[in-house]
Amino acid sequence: MRRPLVAGNWKMNGSMQEVSVLLNALAALELPGDVDVAVFPGMLYLAQAGSTLKGIAVGAQDCAVSAGFGAMTGETSATQLKDAGCSMVLVGHSERRELQCESDDTVAGKFVAAQSAGLVPVLCVGETLQQREQGRAIETVTEQVEAVIRVAGIDAFADAVLAYEPVWAIGTGLTATPEQAQQVHEALRGVIACHSAGIAQGLRILYGGSVKADNATELFAQEDIDGGLVGGASLDAEEFGAICRAAGN
């Protein structure tokens, strides 16, 4: 059995004051013992999150393509994130693929950099509405995953997380139906299984895209959905707590 993971991606949200309030509310939550929980605040708040939260992992929303230190103005390396108390990092979120023009190669480089610094990468994949309407949803996410396997190797997925986030469902209030999501999750597990059945069996695949307390139970009940990557609803501690409970048994 795969242990569920519920992760909150705060994106570019929160002031110093708001983050303090949210962290304290999260620290006070009763969370289920059979679910892993993580939050991904903005870079400025990672150390504060690490010192306030116990039993909730802290991750960053991005890392530089090179680990270590060096002349890369404005970048933050996985090595620095690890040093600041992070254990995970998102790579390839669709907002970065789109707004920062991150290619599959860049995403693969970040995945490798994360692991080389001892962080667990959460590789995000997902199709646009146009790709879905053209019947190319599974082909799109397959290529996004294969691009990383080519660079990192399949064994790297023994210590990684995959997140399926259909671009058309992010921040739109539109959610993939549990059946639509399950179909893609099953296909993604199949892609990994073509390389290694054992790694596919153990790999956690999260669903993201307008996950809320009132749709989480149905989504998490699907066989190949092992938790969620939650955006907007993770900014409300009570709702995030309810989503975490929906992932428990």
* Helix, strand and coil in the chain, % to nearest 5: 50, 15, 35
Q: Does 107 bind ligand 13P (CB under 6 A)?
A: no
* Residue 93 a catalytic site member: yes
Q: Is the dihedral of CA 233, 168, 174, 215 positive or negative?
A: negative
Token couple for 122? 């959460």
Asked if residue 168 belongs to a known ligand binding site, the reply is no
The answer to the question of residue 41 lying near ligand 13P (CB under 6 A) is no
Q: How far is the CB of 94 from ligand 13P (least distance, A)?
A: 7
- The single residue of 95, 127, 165, 239 carrying the catalytic annotation is 165
The residue range among 28-36, 64-72, 197-205, 223-231 that interacts with ligand 13P, by the rule CB under 6 A, is 223-231
Contact characters 135-174, ligand 13P, x per CB under 6 A: ------------------------------x----xx---
Of 59, 23, 24, residue with least CA distance to 39: 59
Q: Which residue is nearest to ligand 13P (CB)?
A: 231
CA distances from 177 to 42, 149, 212, 215 (A): 29, 28, 13, 9
CB of 56 to ligand 13P, least distance (A): 17
State yes or no: residue 230 binds ligand 13P (CB under 6 A): yes
30 is catalytic: no
**Backbone region of residue 101 per phi and psi (left: phi > 0; alpha: psi in -120 to 50; beta: other values):** left
* Nearest distance, CB of residue 59 and ligand 13P, angstroms: 11
Nearest to 96 by CA among 173, 39, 163, 36: 163
Q: 35 forms bridges with which residues in the sheet? A: none
Q: Which residues carry out catalysis?
A: 93, 165
Q: Which residues of the chain form contacts with ligand 13P (CB under 6 A)?
A: 9, 93, 165, 170-171, 208-211, 229-233
